[in-house]
Amino acid sequence: MIIKRICIRTNEAAALLGVDKKQGERKLRLIKAALGKENRHYITFREFAEYTGIPLAEVLEACVPSTR
């Protein structure tokens, strides 16, 4: 069984936004607050893409390794 990851990691968010890891953490906290999520909750690729305006396909291409 293949388990697909649907949540974005801090380092991925930072790389996509071109900032350091600490700024990536801050951005994810801002997204959580905007979505009404608690700190312990995760942000999905879709939520990240919608909030930042980056197309979901580009987020997934950059974050999820190809299975080929």
> Model confidence over 11-68: pLDDT tens digits?
999 999 999 999 999 999 999 999 999 989 999 999 999 999 999 999 999 988 765 4
Measured CA distances, 43 to 13, 29, 68 (Å): 10, 9, 26
Model-wide pTM > 0.85: yes
- CA gap 17, 67 in Å, rounded: 24
Domain chopping of the chain, boundaries: 10-63
- CA gap 21, 15 in Å, rounded: 8
Give residue 35's pLDDT: 96
